[in-house]
Chain A
Amino acid sequence: MTTSSPGTAAPVRPDQTRTSAPVLQVDGLVRAYGDLRAVDGVSLRVDPGETFGLLGPNGAGKTTTILMIAGLLRPDAGSVHVAGTDMAADPIRAKGHLGLVPQELAIYPELSARDNLRFFGRLQGLRGTRLKTRVEEVLELVGLEDRSKKPSKTFSGGMKRRLNIGIGLLHEPTLLILDEPTVGVDPQSRHAILESVATLTDAGMAVLYTTHYMEEAERLCDRIAVMDEGRVQAQGTRDELVELVGDADLVVLAGGGALEAAEAAVEVLPAVQRVTRDAEGLRLTVRGAPTAITGIVTAATDAGMSLHDVQITRPDLESVFLHLTGRALRD
């Protein structure tokens, strides 16, 4: 089983012992706004050190779910347990394990990066030298040391985003919740943000990451829940999800010559499930295309086909989403 995230392979920080108890356990969360059931029976589990993606289009209910997990919105039904503590029963204790990075910026524009960090650090109960060192560490992590004295309103959008994320990391939470942290950020800052999230998960922090960018989910997350219309449509590792659409790759052999003979030749290969022929060449549905591709190309050319181009398209979360909901992920 392959994963697209470097997180799983990373060593776990020695002071954070992995236990089997989940960092986050969400059961049957429901929240309605009037007639609209924004969140309709969501259950999730995030294990220690894991990066969990909540993937869904605009209005899927991701933020609403996050708000309930963070104890900012009371669920109509269902429960949230953070590191074993019931959010409804002991919100202060449960919140102590969480670091929230809201979707919208949540920083004081008049305060400098350092003062923003200091204030939120104090609210999290940090003080003295620990507060000081953490503030400096986070400033370095989000790359704002040189701008730390300027009011944050003078920052660029990407810098504000990075500060926004930094505040959530300050107290080294057991679970960091990132709600679409890369929206409206240029590719460079986006890369920096994804890098720093990867660094954190390497360090053993569990992350709950919402996004509507499939690539981000694929790149970062160990496990992903595909969410639409308030429900989790499917959840699992990327490969488990992709298997839902049949784990079949699309191979396009473009070219001319003896197409009919080539079709007959590749059709008999065990990896090939289906072949269609058109004016430009052959389209094959293949199981495990990367390994089967040499055999396919050899068979086709041996049969007298002259190849111009070979394309392999692997199924991705986009096709998973299409498969699950009948809609494209993009807005």
Chain B
Amino acid sequence: MRALLVLVAHDLRQHLRDRSMVLFAVVIPLALSAVFSLAFSGVDDPQLEPVTAAVSVPEGDEAAAAVPQTLAGLAEAGIDVTVLEVPADEVTAAVTSGQAQVGITLPQGYAAALADGTGATVEVEVGEDAGLAGQVVVGVVSSTVQAMGRDATAVAAGAELGLDGQQLEALVAQLSGGGSGAGGPSEAEASAADGAAGTAEGAEDGLATGGAAWTVRGVAGGQLSLSAGIVAGQAGMFLFFTVGFAVLTMLTEREWGTLARVRSAPIRPWLVPLAKAVVAVLLGTASTTVLLVAGSLFLENVAFGSWPVVLVLVVAVVAAATSVMALILKLAGTAEQASLMLSVVAISLGVVGGTFFRVPTRGSWARCSRSTRSRRSAAG
């Protein structure tokens, strides 16, 4: 096995000498994490500041009263909304003074107007500092009002019951589902739904499906947050370049002629590709680990669960990547062909990369053993 050590040490030294190892294993992962931290900070859990809504409700109007009740219900859903019931002529003052960020004036005879179908105008004023939470409030109000207009009876019933969080979710979901092309408001409603779920899961899935259908699910164990998913995905893609880089030296050596010379030495022929694979695994593990660690340091909300498990997972994935590279090497005649194939594989993996890593914490071992097995079959 001395020959293997000689080959591995030689390759590592070569990478070190042209600084590519430091570049691939440390510098690029760190740089990537820095870029991620800039690009993706705040993607998770939209930060909703507390918001105060000044609402004027005509005396004894049950339908109109449903609006502040709905808003109050938002608090349960995780959005800090304070409802300030004020007389109609003080709404504007409350908003301009900054006492409230949103002002809502429900007109006199609102319930009656809904009942006879003549329609009513609800005035909504938005203060300059309303922020995302303010937008949510506006969205919720407008959708509530619209729903009432569509079905007055239902609204009345709803008003009697007082809409709770879940009903609100259903309502918003129904509305945003119907008006997916509506742009701004629909996004605000989406955020509301997300807030209602109280997890980052909604946001993650939502982005994944293009923001159209926001489904709200319960919290399912140790899934990764969106940033973590992105970092993991990038790690998956990056890993391929690193591993590919190490394995592609095989082609470079063919061009240099040194491969034939190495093979003419009295060593077992399979030691040569094995040494490349060992170097690839070392380099790939180093760079992926650096990327993941840096990601979890730079980015809030990025956690990958138990580190030993993640490390095993990374090594398994690196090994799998190495065997895919070996396959590419076999198929590709030239270094150019190989790097082209490599890019295709790497980018596809980057796209599905998050999936690679999105592992429930408890199920990690199952996943690990599966990737190990797939590595074996790929290598065999």
Contacts and interface: CB of A to CB of B under 8 A. Distances in A.
B256 A106 contact: yes
B262 A108 contact: no
Contact of A111 (B14, B261, B266): B14
Of the four ranges (under 10, 10 to 19, 20 to 34, 35 or more), the interface on chain A belongs to 20 to 34
Contact of A106 (B258, B267, B269): B258
Interface stretch (A120-128, A190-198, A267-275): A120-128
A75 B257 CA distance: 20
B265 interface: yes
Contacts of B262: 120, 123
A261 B256 CA distance: 67
Contacts of A111: 14, 17
Contacts, number: 58
Nearest to B257: A106
Given A119-B6, A122-B6, A123-B6, A107 B264 contact: no
Interface in B256-296: 256-258, 260-269
A108 B266 contact: no
B260 A110 contact: no
Given A106-B258, A123-B3, A167-B261, A92 B266 contact: yes
Nearest to B253: A108
B18 interface: yes
Contact of B264 (A93, A98, A108, A122): A98
Of the four ranges (under 10, 10 to 19, 20 to 34, 35 or more), the interface on chain B belongs to 20 to 34
Nearest to B6: A122
A243 interface: no
A104 B257 contact: yes
A95 interface: yes
B72 to A, nearest CB: 71
B253 to A, nearest CB: 8
Contact residues of B: prevailing secondary structure: helix
Contacts of B6: 119, 122-123
A98 B264 CA distance: 8
Contacts of B263: 72
A109 interface: yes
A100 B257 contact: no
Contact of A102 (B10, B14, B257): B257
Contact of A70 (B7, B256, B264, B269): B264
Contacts of B265: 95, 120, 123-124
Nearest to B264: A100
Interface string A83-96: 00000000111011
B257 A105 contact: yes
Interface in B1-53: 3, 6-7, 10, 14, 17-18
B261 A100 contact: yes
B258 A110 contact: no
A110 B15 CA distance: 10
A108 B3 contact: no
Contacts of B258: 106-108
Given A102-B257, A102-B260, A106-B260, A96 B14 contact: no
Interface string A134-178: 000000000000000000000000000000000100000000000
Contact of A110 (B7, B17, B257, B268): B17
Nearest to A71: B264
A110 B264 contact: no
A124 B6 CA distance: 10
A115 B222 CA distance: 51
Contacts of B14: 108, 110-111
Contacts of B269: 91
Contact of A95 (B7, B257, B266): B266
Interface in B222-264: 256-258, 260-264
Contacts of A123: 3, 6-7, 262, 265, 267
Given A92-B266, A123-B6, A107 B256 contact: yes
B15 to A, nearest CB: 10
A282 B14 CA distance: 68
Nearest to A96: B266
28 contacts: A67-B260, A71-B264, A72-B263, A91-B269, A92-B268, A95-B265, A95-B266, A96-B266, A100-B261, A106-B257, A106-B258, A106-B260, A107-B256, A107-B257, A107-B258, A108-B256, A108-B258, A109-B256, A110-B14, A111-B14, A119-B6, A119-B10, A120-B261, A122-B6, A123-B6, A123-B267, A124-B265, A167-B261
Q: Shortest 4 CB-CB distances between A and B: which pairs?
A: A106-B257, A96-B266, A106-B261, A123-B265
Interface of A: 67, 70-72, 91-93, 95-96, 98, 100, 102, 104-111, 119-120, 122-125, 167
Interface of B: 3, 6-7, 10, 14, 17-18, 256-258, 260-269
